[in-house]
Chains A and B, each alone.
Chain A
Amino acid sequence: MTSAPYSQNFISFGVPIRFESRNARLLEKAIKTANKALIGNLRPTQKRPDHTFVFGRNKELGAFVEHNGAIIAENEIERGVFKYFDSYLRVRIGEYCPDRVFIHSGAVGINGKALLIPGNSFSGKSTLVLELVKLGAEYLSDEFAILDKRGRVHPYARPINMRTTDGKYRPYTVNVTDKADLKKKKPLPVGAVLFTSYKENAPFRPKRLTPAEGIMTITPYTLPILVNPAYSIQVLHEVMNGALIVQSKRTHAPRFGEKLLQYLAKLM
């Protein structure tokens, strides 16, 4: 590897990382992207990095990013490369975070307890989270539920990422919180976990799952499950042991959101 004159070491959620580049502008852009991706959880450190990211541009690849010596993204369009890096970094931090378990999930607070809505991108969880917030729920995240060892949820409150529903999927963001709010937010115990997928005009028919079924169903959304399965299962057990776990198809978010909140009000 060629020597990089510009570099900086950081720590994010307990994961030491290093950014390197021969180009000061690219390094600056990487730091800015990382800060946004990790909602400011990026502090300089002297710790030896576990993950080194190199940012560059050359005639052969265009703009590129390497992770521990392997190219992870390359394209003429620099913006696209950084967009991918933004997603990639969040996922890698979530996978390797030593003491928190990142779940790909929407999360809102209801009466001092968290509702988790696990789901992948394009599963409609942002739409549902936004609808629940409009109905009075407290916004925690539309992307990750970050769980501590006691199974409590810490906020990961980026602006909600929405896409238009006209078939063209234009991304836009909705600000539902401010930084002052975030600092006040305490971790919440999980009151309920909802596994749901969209089906037009589907009635709300919640099926209760057992804790073991809940853990099994949430594993595909659990980022560190491959890296740290024992700790992940231990934390998921904490979550599912005390939570209401339900599965249901859902119709349009406004109608479903109201019914869901009425249902949870009785049981949570």
Chain B
Amino acid sequence: MSDSHTPKARKRGLVVQEMPGEMLVYDTETNKAHCLNDSAAFVWASCDGVNTVSDIVREFEANSKGTVTEDFVWLAIDQLSSKGLLEAKLEPKFKGKSRRDVLKTIGLVSVAALPIIASLAAPQSALAATSCNCSKESDCTFQAASCMNLMCDNRGMTPSFTCNQ
């Protein structure tokens, strides 16, 4: 278990695809895909449960990624924590401050791209992309109700149907 000063990256249940300048992480437990830019990916890789935040700052700069502050690293850690990419969830460092203010403050004193993690959830069922439809005029009213209640909405999908009226 990591404490708030030596965060540890979660490895279990993740599919990681490294690419030049970015990283894709797919979380098989939440079915979410996360796209980490270079800065966020570096901080995540440095979260080994031993490194402190100031160690990560030093590693960041030693790898010629630019001059940064501890707040810069915390910005990444806050995002990693909220997205479930650390072993233990941490109390947000910038709680109560607007994201805009935080980015402005950190951006002014950092010479590196701000850490950004974009995320997108996959549907709980692949059936979500499909639809029912009825193809006979007389079936329509009945079919619409049946389709919604019995034939579509039984696997967590969003029901939709087409009708010949």
Contact = CB atoms under 8 A, between A and B. Distances in A.
Interface of A: 72-77, 79-81, 83-84, 87-88, 90-92, 94-95, 104, 120-122, 163, 168-171, 210-213, 215-217, 219-226, 229-230, 233-234, 237, 241
B135 A79 contact: yes
B97 interface: no
A83 B135 CA distance: 9
Nearest to A161: B133
Interface string B147-161: 100111011000010
16 contacts: A75-B143, A79-B139, A80-B132, A80-B139, A87-B130, A163-B162, A168-B163, A169-B133, A170-B162, A211-B19, A216-B33, A216-B118, A222-B122, A225-B26, A225-B122, A226-B125
A190 B9 CA distance: 34
Contacts of A81: 151
A148 to B, nearest CB: 18
A168 B124 CA distance: 29
A220 B160 contact: no
Contact of B131 (A75, A87, A90): A87
B90 interface: no
Given A91-B129, A169-B162, 8 more contacts: A72-B155, A73-B150, A75-B146, A88-B130, A216-B120, A226-B124, A229-B15, A233-B24
A168 B147 CA distance: 17
B160 A121 contact: yes
Contacts of B24: 211-212, 215-216, 233, 237
A217 B120 contact: yes
Nearest to A70: B154
B95 interface: no
B33 A215 contact: yes
Nearest to A226: B31
Given A216-B120, A219-B120, A79 B146 contact: no
A172 B119 CA distance: 37
B143 A80 contact: yes
Given A121-B129, A168-B163, A220 B122 contact: yes
Contacts of B19: 210-212, 237, 241
- Top 5 A-B pairs ranked by shortest CB distance? A216-B33, A87-B130, A212-B22, A169-B162, A212-B24
Contacts of B143: 75, 77, 80
A249 B58 CA distance: 43
Contacts of B98: none
B151 A80 contact: yes
Contacts of A77: 134, 136, 139, 142-143, 146
A216 B34 CA distance: 7
Contacts of A163: 162
A95 B132 CA distance: 19
